[in-house]
A and B are shown apart, each in its own frame.
Chain A
């Protein structure tokens, strides 16, 4: 069953056509990769999916509901969470505060019981804090809970951003280059985490340039070039597809 259906999405920036009639679907519970050379329109597509940028034309169905005209906060409330290519954490907050802030959609934290100092409010706070701690340990940052996000290393920031996205228990997780610039060991940690999340039934859609990461992890891959889908398929078929090889390596003129 397709959780996300992208139908004929086109996006123009002035005269530039960033995406041209993009069609593919993301299956429920699968890890779906989006690859393509720089400037292919991958991040633009992710911004359209998450409601940050409206498409010029086309439809997006998220579990059967048309979301292409919804604002980002409504899309998120339907169960879609994302990370950003250029990491957008809350720098002055600690790690655990970042995750607690990320619980916005699942935590009501009403004001009135707090004003009246009802114990239920503090109990609730405590529960959400434990929940946030559990989310932090999923990405291996439980020892960094009280450290401010701005003092984290690059790889830790990427992981914290994933933790914050997980905090709202999304059905679909969009990751924009989750392992860019990470060391080898960190890459396999993130791969393991994504695999576990998919095993729990979460659908993951990710953009990544690290080919071994994408090939090993994704069950389906869509290749984008100059705003158009070249092909969608399993890692094997995609990596043998002549147009994909051409997009990445160029045409062999000697033959």
Chain B
């Protein structure tokens, strides 16, 4: 068997898993951006939903080219984030989380009740246009963007706000502007991921982007670590692949698997408070 053959077979079996890892990594990074500015948002799943519905509606009803639909979805999520961000980012900590959670519910209920989104059954059939290379190109570009952003004025401002918002203000950082920017960049990445996901699964339903999805993104970040952009990618990859790994070693679906998930989360919080990335970190403190 040649290498190409092995690869094709591997992809035939694990292709959808690999794609999901990519999509979930993008979603995890989207929350990471917001977290890197110290803001806990539970609205990123809803932004993914907005992106997914926007792209789906555009390609299904208006025959818009896929790439254009992706851009439109990204911009749409970003625009909603700007409008939502200015009022809600005045809230701090858990209050912001609650407000963004409420926003997620609004999006979900809208999606259930609107005609154009296909109601509770969801929007289908969305043309299947997303391919693995597109997801991972997007992931690579977003990852590169995050790596570069870190040392820019924006990245330093985000980090300052995360560390101490009052001190950041006193240093001349316009915290409202930078917080909204972090929120918007995060929403745009989520919108892109949602649009790609919709064109991968043929369908998008209101339930996909609810509370559990929002919390899942947070868990990716906690498990992976939020000190550097690839932390959430590690978290997303591990937790997305985990059911498959567990199936491989004979743990059946159901409560046991949920238990193992919870156990891993607990172990990471107890022993790797800075997430999986601290395994690779050279800095010991």
Chain B proximity mask over A11-49: 1 for CB below 8 Å, otherwise 0: 000000000000000000000000000000000000000
Any chain B CB within 8 A of the CB of A152? no
Chain A residues positioned under 8 Å from B285 (CB to CB): 148, 151
Any chain A CB within 8 A of the CB of B8? no
Any chain B CB within 8 A of the CB of A125? yes
A-B contact pairs, 10 of them (CB 8 A): A77-B172, A81-B171, A90-B164, A93-B159, A101-B156, A111-B149, A114-B151, A125-B151, A164-B171, A168-B172
Any chain B CB within 8 A of the CB of A92? yes
Say whether B175 contacts A73, CB under 8 Å.
yes
Given A73-B173, A114-B148, A88 contacting B167 (CB threshold 8 A): yes
Any chain B CB within 8 A of the CB of A110? yes
Chain B contact residues: helix, strand, loop or mixed: helix
Chain B proximity mask over A223-250: 1 for CB below 8 Å, otherwise 0: 0000000000000000000000000000
How far does the alpha carbon of A114 sit from the alpha carbon of B282 in the complex, in Å?
25
In the complex, which range does the number of interface residues on chain B fall in? 20 to 34
Chain B residues positioned under 8 Å from A222 (CB to CB): none
Q: How far is the CB of A172 from chain B (nearest CB, A)?
A: 13
Chain B residues positioned under 8 Å from A115 (CB to CB): 144-145, 148
Q: How far is the CB of B167 from chain A (nearest CB, A)?
A: 4
Within 8 A of A (CB), among B247-285: 285
Say whether B160 contacts A101, CB under 8 Å.
yes
Tally of A-B Cβ pairs under 8 angstroms: 84
How far does the alpha carbon of A237 sit from the alpha carbon of B163 in the complex, in Å?
43
Chain B residues positioned under 8 Å from A114 (CB to CB): 148-149, 151-152
How far does the alpha carbon of A101 sit from the alpha carbon of B154 in the complex, in Å?
10
Say whether A52 contacts B167, CB under 8 Å.
no
Q: Interface residues, chain A, CB within 8 Å of chain B? A: 50-52, 71-73, 76-77, 81-82, 84, 88-93, 100-102, 104-105, 107-111, 114-115, 125, 148, 151, 164-165, 168
Say whether B170 contacts A81, CB under 8 Å.
yes
Closest Cβ neighbor of B144 among chain A residues: A115
Say whether A73 contacts B174, CB under 8 Å.
yes
Any chain A CB within 8 A of the CB of B5? no
Given A72-B170, A73-B169, A89-B164, A104 contacting B156 (CB threshold 8 A): yes
Q: Interface residues, chain B, CB within 8 Å of chain A? A: 144-145, 148-149, 151-154, 156-157, 159-160, 163-164, 166-167, 169-175, 285
Chain B residues positioned under 8 Å from A71 (CB to CB): 169, 174
Chain B residues positioned under 8 Å from A151 (CB to CB): 285
Q: Please pick, from B148, B171, B175, the residue contacting A101 in the complex, using a CB distance under 8 A.
A: B171
Chain B residues positioned under 8 Å from A100 (CB to CB): 156
Say whether A76 contacts B171, CB under 8 Å.
yes
Chain B residues positioned under 8 Å from A76 (CB to CB): 169-172
How far does the alpha carbon of A104 sit from the alpha carbon of B144 in the complex, in Å?
23
Say whether A52 contacts B171, CB under 8 Å.
no
How far does the alpha carbon of A141 sit from the alpha carbon of B123 in the complex, in Å?
60
Chain A residues positioned under 8 Å from B172 (CB to CB): 73, 76-77, 104-105, 168
Chain B residues positioned under 8 Å from A91 (CB to CB): 163
Given A72-B169, A73-B174, A88 contacting B164 (CB threshold 8 A): yes
Q: Please pick, from B148, B152, B157, B166, the residue contacting A52 in the complex, using a CB distance under 8 A.
A: B166
Q: Which 4 A-B pairs have the closest CB atoms?
A: A76-B172, A90-B163, A88-B167, A109-B153
